[in-house]
Amino acid sequence: MSRFFANGSDSESESSEDEIQATNFNKASAFQFSDDEEEVKRVVRSTKEKRYENLTSIIKTIRNHKKIKDIPNTLSSFEDLTRAYQKALPVISKEENGITPRFYIRCLAELEDFINEVWEDREGRKNLSKNNSKSLGTLRQKVRKYIKDFEDDLSRFREAPDQESEAEDEVVAQESDGGDAGDDSDAGVKPTEAAPKAVKSAPAKAAPADDDDSDDSIDWDSDSESETESSDDENQYQNMRERFLKRTTEKEEKDDDKRKDKRKEQKVKIRKRAEDDEDGEWETVVKGHVVEKPKMFEKDAEIDVPLVLAKLLEIMSARGKKRTDRRLQIDLLFELRDISDQHNLGTAVSVKIHFNIISAIYDYNQKISEPMKLEHWALLLEVMQSMLKLLLANTDIIMSESVAEEHEEYVTAPFYVRGCPLAAVERLDDEFVKLLKECDPHSNDYVSRLKDEVNVVKTIELVLQYFERSGTNNERCRIYLRKIEHLYYKFDPEVLKKKRNEVPATTSTSVDVMDKLCKFIYAKDDTDRIRTRAILAHIYHHAMHDNWFQARDLVLMSHLQDNIDAADPATRILYNRMMANLGLCAFRQENVKDAHHCLVDLMVTGKPKELLAQGLLPQRQHERSAEQEKIEKQRQMPFHMHINLELLECVYLVSAMLLEIPYIAAHEFDARRRMISKTFYQQLRSSERQSLVGPPESMREHVVAAAKAMRCGNWQACANFIVNKKMNTKVWDLFYESDRVREMLTKFIKEESLRTYLFTYSNVYTSISIPSLAQMYELPVPKVHSIISKMIINEELMASLDDPSETVVMHRSEPSRLQALAMQFVDKVTNLVDVNEKVFDMKQGNFFQRGNMGNRGDRGYNRNQNNQGGNWLGQRRDRNNRNRNQRGHHKNNQDRQQQQQQQVQTIDEE
């Protein structure tokens, strides 16, 4: 081995050392180190340690800047901190499962408090320099914007700021591994946890197990020359490899020893317990960390009510605390209930324990947005029904939220128990909805979960019976509303049978139950929300059973449409569902115009799916954030309560067609014609712009094709497109008694096609035979006579009826197609001329003379000029007015001549 690392004696000269180093430099420089490099201990660190060390160093810098109120440097350090955290995000998502480290949340909370403190100190803020004041505003704005993503973590931290998380402990350990403990108080960790650790230089497997001297650090080279000379090349490479190995620390070994000692102690305890057991039964040793179940009572303890209540308080006091085993807590409560029943401590104590079991089951799931496990759900239903049966069977037990804990009574009747079964059943109902939303609606799992609704409704009935016996009006209204929400969307065929007298009049139906529950809420409710939701559900249920007039009167009398925008989102969703179902009811009851009015607000937006809470449309251009999307998903309705969107759209488009096509035919050449349905009008116009139109395939194309056939008066083609057995049968079959709906649709199509035909071809005929129209449209003659009479009365058709000959005599007062186009052209040209004249006057300056800018004399001069006919614009307008009057006078003469001819004809016939 070369003598590069050897220490020379004092007798050696400097020249000999230079020669030795010069000869061996090239060989040894590639893999050997100097004495100075040897003093630095090299440690291989992971990416997590590097990133966390970078974050903690920046946090320490920020705290130092805050102490001296150096706001500009605090701002720059905060920007460095955000960039460092962005780099550390992949490590955090991988190592911490996406949970933000607690020391980082602590830094953000302290920084926010510092900014608020400086900002609220107005006197101190006024004394700040210009640079500090500007930096403070920028820092405040950036921090407020940045911490919006950490609101939940900050709120949890502020609730328990002294708790240390595992991530923070790891950071402290990593800092100590790096050899730089720093300022413990500044780092936001406990000083005892940040103690530096001793580092071993020897590898772990080379050290003996029981050797205490292995903790001492060992250097590569020694001061003695003999050790240097005895080392060979193999030992050299081995020492270099050892230098880059990760060392195990003394603290880690001590922790391992402590864990082994704990496991040994637990095993010894289990063995002793098995030996002391009288029965001598075997106990199963669980692999891993064993949680010892606490002992309920001593063997010789006298179990009575105070002792059981004290144990119950002890168990429930651990509720919500960190590292509390929630499953063990539920097991202990069940065991306590069994002990209470065995010693006959009374029903009141059993009810109290039941209620605490329900609370513990609710606490098991920490995330409110997620549903509970199925095993806990089944257990919850069982315990809930058991508690309510005990309450109903014992009338001397009063369970209420208004009972204070010090006033509870479990020994002598009447018994008073603190608790609220109403809140428990409301939470039960909400959990049931969460379970339904979690399942795939097209799977058998959804059907099996939906079967639990029977038990949920049964539980609500038990609570309803309890509060009807002893409860306030507000509590009864709340439980009534829960029952209404499980009843209002369900169809009861007995209602329609009762209308037709197919069942006895004394039969109770769902409509009767709804009337009873809703009328109580109308009379006794003090809050607007419960009453509003009850009215909406009542209207929905009436519309579901074709009680059109009752539903319409409730809508008009309640005036819900005036103030529904101020309601909460769940109530607005229920209002949208009510209007949709009301529109379907109006359509079934042949009120096409009312059906269109009910559905137009839903369909014109193009988002009926979102308005009815039946799903979310694809997100476009960051239309909503992740938090908003999560909230909207929680508001979605379960699948079995959905309204068919295709049926809604089909009913809306068909209603719009039956209203729009006759109106278009009656006002074909009217430039000021309004649109009844914008959605249908766009569909019709887009179809007309297509150069090649094939056979209809979708539902919308069928409606457009039917509309085109109706414009020509071809009712048979229109009916084939709408009531098409190939396309729309599956839509109309969704209605109860679908054959009646198809017959109603065919009748309406015939009537509106007849009206469209008369509007379109009235200027072609001199007279039309009513029997021939009845034969053409397969309608009774009285029906055709009635339709034409209404058109004449409403001045939609200029004609008269000749009853002896059963004909319709046209008066030909309507202009022909060419005349109508000419009149439109004249109106447009007149408007164009007026606009050009105004522009010309503004350029010539005459606008200011005739307007408000001119003086009184100028206005008088212009007025005189107009009166004398000197103004050519006034002369032209007078001429146009004269021509219009002449046309009107000529038209009146024609009408007068026609009336005289009709009088002559009637006289001749008489």
pLDDT, average across residues 174-178: 45
Q: Which residue has the higher pLDDT, 175 or 435?
A: 435
- Per-residue pLDDT at 12: 42
Name the β-bridge partners of 416: 398, 409
> What angle (nearest 5°) sits at the alpha carbon of residue 197, between those of residues 60 and 107?
20
Q: What pLDDT does residue 540 have? A: 95
Q: Per the domain annotation, does 65 fall within a domain?
A: yes
* Burial class of residue 119, CB neighbours in 10 A (0-12, 13-18, 19+): middle
- Is residue 851, in this structure, part of any structural domain at all? no
- Is residue 817 one of the residues assigned to a domain? no
Distance CA 317, CA 324 (A): 10
pLDDT tens, residue by residue, 3-24: 444 444 444 444 444 444 444 4
Are residues 65 and 199 both part of a single domain?
Answer: yes
Tell whether 354 and 499 lie within a shared domain.
no
The pLDDT, as a whole number, for residue 250 is: 54
**Average pLDDT of the residues of the chain:** 77
Whether residue 453 has pLDDT greater than 60: yes
> Which pLDDT band, with edges at 50, 70 and 90, does 864 fall under?
very low
Residue carrying structure tokens 């103004």: 871
Long-range pairs of 794-801 with CB within 8 A, sequence gap ≥ 24: 796/666, 796/759, 797/758, 797/759, 797/762, 798/762, 799/762, 800/902
pLDDT, position 265: 67
Q: Are residues 76 and 199 in the same domain?
A: yes
Res. 263: pLDDT tops 90: no
Most confident of 131-140, 280-289, 395-404, 510-519: 510-519
- Residue-wise pLDDT for 670-716, tens only, equals 656 777 888 888 888 888 888 777 788 888 888 889 999 998 888 98
Q: What confidence score (pLDDT) does residue 827 get?
A: 82
8 A C-beta contact, residue 390 and residue 350: yes
CA end-to-end span of the chain: 147
Whether 633 is covered by a domain: the verdict is: no
Whether residue 62 is found in the same domain as residue 199 = yes
**Residue 258 lies inside a defined structural domain of this protein:** no
pLDDT beyond 90 at 642: yes
Report how far apart, in Å, the C-alpha atoms of 146 and of each of 79, 151, 355 are.
11, 10, 43
More confident: 728 or 46: 46
Among 41-50, 114-123, 185-194, 333-342, which stretch is predicted with the lowest mean pLDDT? 185-194
Domain count, the chain: 4
Report yes or no on 68 lying in a domain. yes
**Looking at the DSSP assignment, which residues form a beta bridge with residue 399?**
417
pLDDT tens-digit map of 267-312: 566 555 555 544 444 555 544 444 555 667 777 778 888 888 988 9
Whether residues 684 and 597 fall in one domain: no
Q: In terms of domains, do 666 and 599 share one?
A: no
Give the amino acid at 801: L
pTM of the model: 0.60
- Per the rule left: phi > 0, alpha: psi between -120 and 50, beta: everything else, 41 is beta
In a domain, 402, yes or no: yes
Last residue of a domain, one of 203, 221, 240: 203
| Interior angle at CA 885, CA 883 and CA 886, nearest 5 | 65
Q: Of 373, 393, 427, which marks where a domain is finished?
A: 427
Question: So what's the pLDDT on residue 897?
Answer: 58
Domain that holds residue 583: 489-610
Give pLDDT tens digits for 542-552: 999 999 999 99
Residue 741 lies in a domain: yes
**134 and 69 inside one domain:** yes
Secondary structure (3-state) at 320: coil
Q: Does position 219 have pLDDT exceeding 60, yes or no? A: no
Q: Which of 737, 761, 785 is the last residue of a domain?
A: 761
Residue 489 pLDDT > 90, yes or no?
yes
Asked whether residue 654 falls in the same domain as residue 602, the answer is no
- Whether residues 600 and 650 fall in one domain: no
Residues 72 and 182 in one domain: yes
Whether residues 378 and 510 fall in one domain: no
Q: Go through 195-226 and write b for each residue having 16 or more CB atoms within 10 A of its CB, e for each that does not.
A: eebeebeeeeeeeeeeeeebeeeeebeeeeee
Chain Cα centroid distance, residue 561: 23
In a shared domain, residues 52 and 189: yes
Percentage of the residues of the chain whose pLDDT score is greater than 90: 26
Paired tokens of 850: 């005739």
